[in-house]
Amino acid sequence: MTRGRPRDTAIEGKVLAAAAEELRQGGYDGLSIDRVAERAGVAKTTLYRRWASKAELVVALIGNLRQDVPFEPSGDPRRDLTELVTAIAATLTATPTTLIADLAAAAAREPRVGESVRALWAERHRAVTAVVAHAQEAGLVLSHVSPAVLVDQLVGPLYYRLLVTGEPLSPDYARTLVRSVLGPEES
Amino acid sequence: MTRGRPRDTAIEGKVLAAAAEELRQGGYDGLSIDRVAERAGVAKTTLYRRWASKAELVVALIGNLRQDVPFEPSGDPRRDLTELVTAIAATLTATPTTLIADLAAAAAREPRVGESVRALWAERHRAVTAVVAHAQEAGLVLSHVSPAVLVDQLVGPLYYRLLVTGEPLSPDYARTLVRSVLGPEES
DNA sequence: TTATTAACGATACTGCGGTAGCGTAAATGG
DNA sequence: CCATTTACGCTACCGCAGTATCGTTAATAA
Contact yes or no for B158 and A159 at CB 8 A: no
Q: Which CATH superfamily is domain A10-58 in?
A: Homeodomain-like (1.10.10.60)
Contact in structure between A81 and A131 (CB atoms under 8 Å)? yes
pLDDT band at B98 (very low <50, low <70, confident <90, very high): very high
Q: Which of B88, B95, B98, B153 to mutate to test the interface with A (most CBs of A within 10 A)?
A: B153
User: Is B111 in a helix, a strand, or coil?
Assistant: helix
Confidence check: pLDDT of B187 > 60: no
The residue extents of the domains of chain B are 10-58, 62-182
Query: Residue A2's pLDDT is what?
Result: 81
Distances (CA, A) of B33 to B39, B52, B55, B92, B176: 10, 12, 11, 25, 41
pLDDT band at B68 (very low <50, low <70, confident <90, very high): confident
Q: How far is B153 from chain A (nearest CA, A)?
A: 5
Residue B34 CB in 7 A reach of strand D: no
Query: Residue B171's pLDDT is what?
Result: 95
In CATH, the number for domain B62-182 is: 1.10.357.10
pTM of the model: 0.93
Contact in structure between B95 and B151 (CB atoms under 8 Å)? no
pLDDT band at B66 (very low <50, low <70, confident <90, very high): confident
Query: Residue B16's pLDDT is what?
Result: 98
Q: Region B119-130: what's the mean pLDDT?
A: 94
Q: Measuring from the CA of residue A3 to each C1', which nucleotide is nearest?
A: D28
Confidence check: pLDDT of B156 > 70: yes
pLDDT digit string (tens) for A126-140?
A: 999 999 999 999 999
Query: Residue A187's pLDDT is what?
Result: 57
B108 shares contact with chain A (CB less than 8 Å): yes
Which residue ranges of chain A lie beneath pLDDT 70? 187
In A116-167, beta strands by DSSP E: none
Percent over 90 (pLDDT), chain B: 89
pLDDT digit string (tens) for A18-52?
A: 999 999 999 999 999 999 999 999 999 999 999 99
* pLDDT averaged over every residue in chain B: 95
